[in-house]
Structure 1
Amino acid sequence: MVESAFIRVDNVSKAFRNKGQTVRVLNDVAFEIKRGEMISILGESGCGKSTLLNIIGGFEKPDEGKVIIDGNQVTQPNRKCIILFQNYGLLPWRSVLENVELGLEGGKLGVKERKERARTYLNLVGLGDKGDLFPHEISGGMQQRVAIARALAIQPELILMDEPFAALDTFNRYYLQDELLRIQDQEKTTVILVTHDIDEAIYLSDRVIMMKANPGEIDKELTITLSKPRDRSHEDFQRYRKAIFEQFHFNRPAPSIEFNI
């Protein structure tokens, strides 16, 4: 039996007005994602990656086409889907625990259940002992883990991530990439990651969707068959890296990317 798509991006196009001109940002973008997959959307600045992510999340409406999630057309944001940005978005006057509780307020959980769930997800990201601290008292890497815990506490079916680790140093970025893999494997959450980092895309993703700009279109799609966690120094990892690098940086028709790994 063929597994049906959890997410279907169906011929999506989007344009904006800029200085009296219409600029087409996305053109006829189409792909599908299975439940539980981690997908990277990879491309240089200006190719429409973030706009596409906002359309999938319901924060922007496409001019043409549609997005279907779990059989329902996306017309507005909903609690099944949450987005994470580079900016952690923590409220400085609230403790770490209270920040994680934020998305649960106004829901069906009582105060006790809300705190218990927030603590559960703080423990999941390794910050169970930091709940009483305030954002300025913890590192940038920890703040991003708090943001991840806050997202997971809502128990979304889909997490959209817009270059969430770009502002971190290499060590924190690598650590959080491993944490994301561990958490995603445990929670079975579907993840769409926007990035311009080739290594990050290969390390994290089941598939990489490569976009080109002016207008933003899908150029190639590549399935990463390496088992997780992946070794960045392994020759197979480097083969994927080289193939993607050439796809973006050499102005020539690219052959189909095939691997016998």
Structure 2
Amino acid sequence: MQQPLMISIQNVDKSFQKNKQENKVLENISLNVQKGEVISILGESGCGKSTLLNIIGGFEKTSNGQVFLDGELVTKPNRKCIMLFQNYGLLPWRSVLKNIEFGLEGSKLTSSERIEKALHYLDLVGLKGKEGLFPHELSGGMQQRVGIARALAVQPELILLDEPFAALDTFNRYYLQNELLRIQSREKTTMILVTHDIDEAVYLSDRIFVMHPNPGCIHKEIKISLSKPRDRSNSDFQHYRNIIFNEFHFGRPEPLLEFNI
């Protein structure tokens, strides 16, 4: 059964002024995201992926068109929506526990309720016992897990992820992709992921939107009809990977020149 809409993007254009000239970054972007879906926006650098994510989050305004979050027009950042960046965004002077509590400050929860909730999500991301440590005492993968726990603690309806694992090594990236799927399956949170990693998009997503640049536009929508978790070596996985790979029209490399020495 089709779930209700979480995000509706309708005919969005975005332009920036540079040297008194208009630079169009996005053109006629329209897409819908259902509640509980994991969506990837995939494209090469400079195609407007992050700009689109910022518009969805209310951090940038559209030049034309509208974005609706759970039926409400997006005009500014909203507590229903949390952004997760690749640089973790942790406060270095706060402990792990206090970093997770940060998003809960100002809520109606008591101090003990905030701590209880923060500890719950710390346990959910597999960092139980690390609450007293500071960010500099954690690996990059652990810091990103703290960021995920902090995002989940405010119980958002939508999490926006801007290449959250790009700075991590392959092993940590794979581990956190698995963790993200496990947590999303349990929490049923809607997620929109911006990435230029084809494998990551196929592994995590229910649907993928491929963007082309100049100006940024949705070139193709691809539904991934594979159960989760997915086997990266499976022929079906490789089938989707090749479909997306071919969208970017990578040419064959030039042959190496031979020299007689």
TM-score (norm 1): 0.94
What does 1:120-131 align with in structure 2 at a 5 Å threshold? 120-131=120-131
Partner of 1:35: 35
What does 1:98-247 align with in structure 2 at a 5 Å threshold? 98-247=98-247
Partner of 2:259: none
Distance 2:108 2:128 in 1: 23
Which amino acid is 1:86 matched to? Q
Deviation digits for residues 220-256 of structure 1 (CA, Å, limit 9, x no counterpart): 00000011000000111111111100011258xxxxx
- Distance apart, 1:138 and its partner CA: 0.8
Pair 1:16 & 2:16 matched: yes
Distance 1:10 1:185 in 2: 28
Which secondary structure state, in structure 1, belongs to the residue aligned with residue 238 of structure 2?
Answer: helix
Which secondary structure state, in structure 2, belongs to the residue aligned with residue 132 of structure 1?
Answer: coil
Which secondary structure state, in structure 1, belongs to the residue aligned with residue 248 of structure 2?
Answer: helix
Deviation digits for residues 78-99 of structure 1 (CA, Å, limit 9, x no counterpart): 1000000111011111100000
Which secondary structure state, in structure 2, belongs to the residue aligned with residue 122 of structure 1?
Answer: helix
Distance 2:168 2:6 in 1: 31
Partner of 1:82: 82
Distance 1:180 1:2 in 2: 23
Q: Which stretch of the first structure deviates more once superposed, 181-190 or 18-27?
A: 18-27
- Distance apart, 1:20 and its partner CA: 2.5
- Distance apart, 1:19 and its partner CA: 2.4
Partner of 2:59: 59
- Distance apart, 1:46 and its partner CA: 0.6
Q: Which stretch of the first structure deviates more once superposed, 50-59 or 17-26?
A: 17-26
**Contact persistence 2:93–2:134 (CA under 8 A):** yes
Partner of 1:44: 44
**Contact persistence 2:3–2:35 (CA under 8 A):** no
Which secondary structure state, in structure 2, belongs to the residue aligned with residue 6 of structure 1?
Answer: strand
Distance 1:47 1:76 in 2: 23
- Distance apart, 1:5 and its partner CA: 2.0
- Distance apart, 1:3 and its partner CA: 4.4
Distance 1:170 1:45 in 2: 20
Which amino acid is 1:141 matched to? G
Aligned residues: 251
- Runs ≥4 in structure 1, deviation > 4 angstroms? none
**Contact persistence 2:158–2:191 (CA under 8 A):** yes
Partner of 2:256: none
Percent of aligned pairs sharing the same letter: 68
Deviation digits for residues 159-182 of structure 1 (CA, Å, limit 9, x no counterpart): 000000000000000000000000
- Distance apart, 1:106 and its partner CA: 0.9
Unaligned runs of 5+ in 2: 252-261
Which secondary structure state, in structure 2, belongs to the residue aligned with residue 249 of structure 1?
Answer: coil
Measured on the aligned residues, the alpha-carbon RMSD in Å equals 1.1
- Distance apart, 1:4 and its partner CA: 3.9
Unaligned runs of 5+ in 1: 252-261
Which secondary structure state, in structure 2, belongs to the residue aligned with residue 230 of structure 1?
Answer: coil
Cα 1:126/1:2, change in 2 over 3 Å: closer
